[in-house]
Structure 1
Amino acid sequence: MEGADPASFAGGPFDVRAVVAGILSGAHSGLLLDALPWGNFPHGDEARKAVHLLRIGDNPARRATDVLGGLCANDSRAAAALAVPFLIPIATDAHHSHHAAALTVLAGPARARHFGVASRDALLLHRTDPGRHAPDDYDDYGVEVTGYPAGWSVAAARAAITAEAPVLLPLLKDPDPAIRIDAAYALATAADLDHTVRTALAARFATEHDAMVRAAVLLAAAETTRAHAHPPTVRWLRERWQDRTETPEVRLAAAVGWLCLTDEPAPEDLHQTIDTLATDERAHALDALPWMNAAAGSGEPGLRRCIRCMLHCEEPEPSDDPWAFSL
């Protein structure tokens, strides 16, 4: 696609949305992993090999997840998006040795340019409509470092997660808290037009006892609401950060989620809540949440970065350069 108008490839074999749609419709049912046009997408062969390693389950998963996660971190996620339909069956198979690893990297392709992003208007932002093949769809997110339309990658990954949301939802009840967190992170990218995901998240929050999982569920609910407006959820999040009986992790996650869903100036009690609860130790601990981990940068924990970008945007970007100095 280098040097060509991406719109001219819409709906064809170089459009990852179209290829994933074919998988989801059953057009490629029964075909082997190698039968798909991985080579049409940047780093496609690397992604194919990574999926193969995760599928066979006999090798350490770290190498495969590093490849898929690295593609997203380096803003080259088209091939990783093509991997999503193959990752979901692994992630939802509790007996598969790499199911947790597959779930960890499942949602990365469904978010564009989210690493180091921590502002109110962009942290939980979704713009691309899954499955839409409009010629200008790629304009939503611009292009990746390879020149591939970023919006196409995001739409393809989100379409796959949306189609398989019914098999991902039970993971919110998994015995492992880390699985519940990663499931919430993935489900937050689904197109939730019938509010099934939001309802499931609210139900999980009502029964969840792990503070970090409860925080993850709140951020997932906020992300879903950012894509599909729901004023009651905005009010619910405000009530959560105002509730002194809630754990600090929950109140901080609710505060971040609420800030992303409203243009209202941050009230004084929110500033007080954050100033009191956002200790350095807690900020580092909250990097266990994938939203906060992705928002981190330059040695700054994700929560600290969110607070600075959302409430103190006049403060300069920190530097991790040991030779940096100010005049």
Structure 2
Amino acid sequence: MGAISREVKDGFRYDEVPWQRFRHFYGPGEDIPGLLATLASGDAEAADGALQQLWTDLHHQGGTIAVGALAVPFLLRIAVAGRPGLRAQTLRLIAEIGRCQHMGDGSREGLLQVAEEPLMIEGSTMCPVDWTIQAARQAVTDDLYLVLPLLSDPDPEVRSVTAYVLAAATGELSHVSSALRSRLAKEDDAAARVSLILAIAQLAREHQYGHAPQWARDLWSDPGRPPEVRIGAGLAVSGHRPRPRRAPRPAHRPRHPSIRRPAPAGAMADLGRPPWLRAAQLHRRNAHDNHPRNSA
């Protein structure tokens, strides 16, 4: 992604990007610049249609594809300068291009996983999926100066999804983590608080920040914290645990502390909005729909 200069990105000079080398899920990569241009246009109905088509072409059934990484720098600029009503969905598409697709894994241990298995190949392009993910993440990291201000967007959904995007950063990690913590200290939206906690935890998990699990445990164990903070912290603690191997179930298996005490019903309802949980629900549904038993 470093081969795309800032001048090309800022000027939306699509003709200087090698779209023709890659396909999207339903056709040639040359389709993507036109959709990006429509998304950036002043026609609200056409822009909405273009965004829905980009989701279909670049994120089919939870998967990601190489041409999506080429689109990320332009999607970022459109999210910042384009229609505010489409900002959250545009940012969510960016985030999904830049993370592994769990394909039905809704476990807490898999919630903060970012990279894909190195041998996973995307069938239509034969490119390793992790190459696409890492290229998209690098594109986000190169343009952090565009993303970080969105943590203060007036729309809480945008703030929540911005945390989801920032969790995929591969550089300037102390700066990103500090910005997330600063926003968390003054955030008043429940779902955005959960997203900020999970973003901090995801960065720590991947980059081996040793203090983050204890920080999350301290948040969870503090009865003075709001319910959504304690729930988010419990999910973060679970996400730091390694995925367990299959083993015989003990007669009395201890429950994880994050689920010992039920949260108030209202708090749990609010947690349907954080993008981590939306993604897990989507991939779980896709896995169910594509299972041979359910496809007949």
TM-score by length of 2: 0.80
Tell me, in whole angstroms, the C-alpha distance in 1 between the residues paired with 2:205 and 2:119: 16
**What is the aligned counterpart of 1:256 among 224, 230, 235?**
235
* 8 Å contact kept, 1:23–1:29: no
Say yes or no: does 1:243 pair with 2:229: no
Q: Distance in 1 between matches of 2:90 and 2:195?
A: 18
Contact 1:53 1:59 in 2 (8 A): no
Partner of residue 47, structure 1: 32
**Comparing 81-90 and 141-150, the one that deviates more:** 141-150
Q: 1:88 to 1:319 in 2, by over 3 A?
A: closer
The answer (yes or no) to whether the contact 1:65–1:102 under 8 Å persists in 2 is yes
**1:21-78: CA deviation from partner (whole Å, max 9, x where unpaired):** 2114657775721332212112223433321211223142332222232322432421
Q: Is the 8 A contact 1:222 1:233 kept in 2?
A: yes
| Count of matched residue pairs | 275
User: 1:248, CA displacement in angstroms?
Assistant: 2.4
From 68, 88, 104, the equivalent of 1:80 is: 68
Structure 1 segments unaligned to the other structure (5+ residues): 1-19, 129-138, 301-316
CA distance in 2 between partners of 1:318 and 1:104 (Å): 22
Which whole-Å CA distance do the structure 2 matches of 1:149 and 1:240 have between them?
Answer: 38
Contact 2:271 2:277 in 1 (8 A): yes
> Contact 2:10–2:77 at 8 Å: present in 1 too?
no
Contact kept in structure 2, 1:252 and 1:278, CA below 8 Å:
no
Question: What is the distance in 1 between the residues matched to 2:148 and 2:85?
Answer: 20
1-structure distance, mates of 2:37, 2:9 = 17
Q: Is the 8 A contact 1:234 1:258 kept in 2?
A: yes
Pair 29,220 (structure 1): closer, same or farther in 2 beyond 3 Å: closer
Residue 23 of structure 1 corresponds to 4
Which fold has the larger relative contact order, with Cα–Cα distance below 8 Å and residues 6 or more apart in sequence?
A: 2
One-letter amino acid of the structure 2 residue matched with residue 290 of structure 1: P
Contact 1:78 1:153 in 2 (8 A): yes
Structure 1 counterpart of 2:139: 160
SS across alignment from 1:144? coil
2:123 aligns with one of 145, 150, 161? 145
Equivalent residue for 2:90, pick from 74, 99, 102: 102
Say which of 280, 284, 296 aligns to 1:295.
280
The answer to whether the 8 Å contact 1:112/1:141 transfers is no
Answer yes or no: is the 8 Å Cα contact 2:8–2:14 preserved in 1.
no
Secondary structure of the residue that 1:119 maps to in structure 2? coil
Task: Please give the alpha-carbon distance, in whole angstroms, between the structure 2 residues aligned to 1:29 and 1:290.
Answer: 27
**Deviation of residue 144 (structure 1)?**
1.7
Q: 1:267 Cα deviation (Å)?
A: 5.9
- Equivalent pairs: percent with the same residue? 31
Q: Residue in 1 aligned with 2:201?
A: 222
Kindly indicate whether residue 55 of structure 2 is the aligned counterpart of residue 69 of structure 1: yes
CA RMSD, aligned part only?
3.1
Distance 1:29 1:187 in 2: 20
Amino acid at match of 2:49: R
Quote how far apart the aligned CAs of 1:93 are. 2.3
TM-score under structure 1 length normalisation? 0.73
Task: Identify which range, 262-271 or 240-249, moves more after superposition.
Answer: 262-271
Work out the CA distance in 2 between the residues paired with 1:38 and 1:123: 32
Gaps of 5+ in 2: 245-252
Query: For residue 272 of structure 1, what is the aligned residue in structure 2?
Result: 260
Aligned position for 1:119: 107
State the alpha-carbon separation in 2 of the partners of residues 212 and 121 from structure 1: 20
Quick check: 1:193–1:228 contact (8 Å CA) kept in 2?
no
